[in-house]
């Protein structure tokens, strides 16, 4: 985010990177967990970067600083998006064309669907679970200093009718591997999430290396919980979003300069996917991408169908990418 580049300069000026102002673990962070060893992926030989050309542009006057993307299964031709820090606690519905979906009663004064009982400290991702519940990640943590990270669970609103929707649940968590605040590594930022096996999974966005850690939290837990680290791998860049395909058998992971698609293992007899094999059940697809310079900030990804992705830039550009092109 552009705000994040400014924040990076502020970090250096204040001397936080030297650990001058670091505080110890809070007393309510009662669990400590080591980061798992790195999983080595069977990455195919890299191709030339895929040049992206926008097929449409989202209305950024309606959706400022859009971050995250989630394709609705309930409403035809609807994708959900959120705006990040400094914006109101609202969700937006977009057509594949980039046009905002606006209730007829709000044509003149529409500013999104307000989610009551929430605050937008730094909303960075949005997803839908197996039951159609909207999951909003207030997980932006640019300086790795937050102690109030959470996901909001929200009934999916009707984008053509609703202007307000209630928060159903707040899932608060912390990173049990973080020992100081802010963290010197700045590797506890996050801009991506997806729902699988009744759990919420999310990737960290690293500022000190190109790796990522996949974490999960249990939305059924009422108390402040320690996130569980699942695996770590080299994402070849900062992870900015993630999405499951309609069948929930493919997982796409976006960085500023690349796209991954992982083929997930077959669910077991109980319908659960083995999380230990999420990234190793088959060779992944990966390709670097080259968007236009003025649309460089790729921060949203979703599956339009099982074989087609849409990428979204914060500057509004929308890009279709067939999985076969990766």
User: Regarding predicted confidence, which is higher, 199 or 106?
Assistant: 199
Segment among 64-73, 188-197, 311-320 with least mean pLDDT: 64-73
Rounded-to-integer distance, Cα 191 and Cα 251, Å: 15
Residue 18 CB: number of other CB atoms within 10 A?
Answer: 10
Task: From residue 249, give the alpha-carbon distance in Å to each of 167, 236, 316.
Answer: 29, 23, 28
Handedness of CA 158, 303, 251, 289 (dihedral sign): negative
Q: Where are the beta strands (DSSP E) in 140-206?
A: 149-155, 164-166, 169-174, 180-181, 189-196, 199-205
Return the ∠ at Cα 96 (arms to 95 and 102), rounded to 5°.
10
- Cβ(244)–Cβ(251) below 8 Å: yes
Q: Which of 99, 320, 148 is nearest to 137 (CA)?
A: 148
The CATH architecture annotation of domain 2-8+39-325 reads 6 Propeller (2.120)
Over the range 53-85, which residues count as b (16 or more CB within 10 Å of their CB) and which as e? ebebbbbbebbbbbbbbbbbeebeebbbbbbbb
Rounded-to-integer distance, Cα 129 and Cα 135, Å: 7
Length of the chain in terms of residues written: 326
Paired sense of beta strands 189-196 and 79-83, if any: unpaired
Rounded-to-integer distance, Cα 263 and Cα 132, Å: 22
Segment among 18-22, 67-71, 140-144, 215-219 with least mean pLDDT: 18-22
Percentage of residues in the chain having pLDDT higher than 70 = 94
Tell me the pLDDT tens digit for each residue of 229-246. Answer: 999 999 999 999 999 999
- With 50 as the cut, is the pLDDT of residue 15 above it? no
Domain positions in the chain: 2-8+39-325
pLDDT of res. 46: 87
- With 50 as the cut, is the pLDDT of residue 218 above it? yes
Tell me the pLDDT tens digit for each residue of 287-298. Answer: 999 999 999 999
Rg (CA), the chain: 19
Tell me the pLDDT tens digit for each residue of 123-168. Answer: 999 999 999 999 999 999 999 999 999 999 999 999 999 999 999 9
Residue 143: is it exposed, middle or buried by C-beta count within 10 angstroms (0-12/13-18/19+)?
buried
Question: What is the reported pTM?
Answer: 0.93
Q: Which residues pair with 56 in a beta bridge?
A: 318
pLDDT of res. 11: 46
């Amino acid at each position: 985010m552009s705000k994040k580049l400014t924040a990076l300069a502020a970090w250096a000026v204040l001397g936080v990177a030297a650990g001058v102002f670091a505080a110890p673990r809070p007393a309510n962070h009662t669990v400590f967990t080591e980061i798992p060893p790195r999983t080595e992926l069977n990455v195919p030989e890299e191709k030339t970067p895929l040049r992206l050309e926008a097929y449409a542009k989202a209305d950024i006057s309606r959706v400022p600083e859009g971050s995250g993307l989630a394709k609705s299964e309930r409403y035809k031709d609807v994708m959900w998006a959120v705006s990040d820090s400094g914006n109101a606690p609202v969700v937006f519905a977009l057509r594949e064309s980039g046009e905002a979906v606006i209730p007829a009663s709000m044509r003149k004064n529409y500013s999104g669907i307000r989610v009551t009982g929430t605050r937008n400290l730094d909303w960075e991702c949005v997803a839908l679970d197996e039951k159609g519940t909207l999951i909003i990640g207030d997980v932006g943590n640019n300086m790795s200093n937050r102690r109030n990270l959470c996901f909001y669970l929200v009934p999916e609103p009707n984008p053509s009718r609703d202007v307000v929707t209630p928060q159903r649940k707040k899932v608060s968590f912390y990173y049990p591997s973080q020992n100081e605040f802010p963290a010197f590594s700045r590797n506890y930022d996050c801009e991506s999430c997806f729902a699988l096996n009744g759990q919420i999974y999310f990737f960290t966005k690293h500022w000190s290396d190109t790796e990522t850690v996949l974490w999960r939290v249990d939305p059924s837990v009422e108390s402040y919980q320690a996130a569980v680290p699942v695996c770590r791998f080299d994402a070849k860049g900062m992870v900015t979003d993630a999405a499951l395909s309609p069948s929930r058998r493919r997982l796409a992971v976006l960085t500023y300069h690349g796209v991954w698609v992982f083929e997930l293992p077959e669910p077991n007899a109980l319908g659960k996917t083995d999380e230990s094999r999420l990234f190793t059940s088959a060779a992944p697809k990966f390709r670097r991408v080259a968007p236009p310079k003025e649309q460089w900030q790729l921060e949203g990804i979703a599956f339009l169908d099982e074989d087609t992705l849409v990428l979204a830039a914060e500057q509004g550009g929308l890009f279709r990418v067939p999985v076969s092109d990766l």
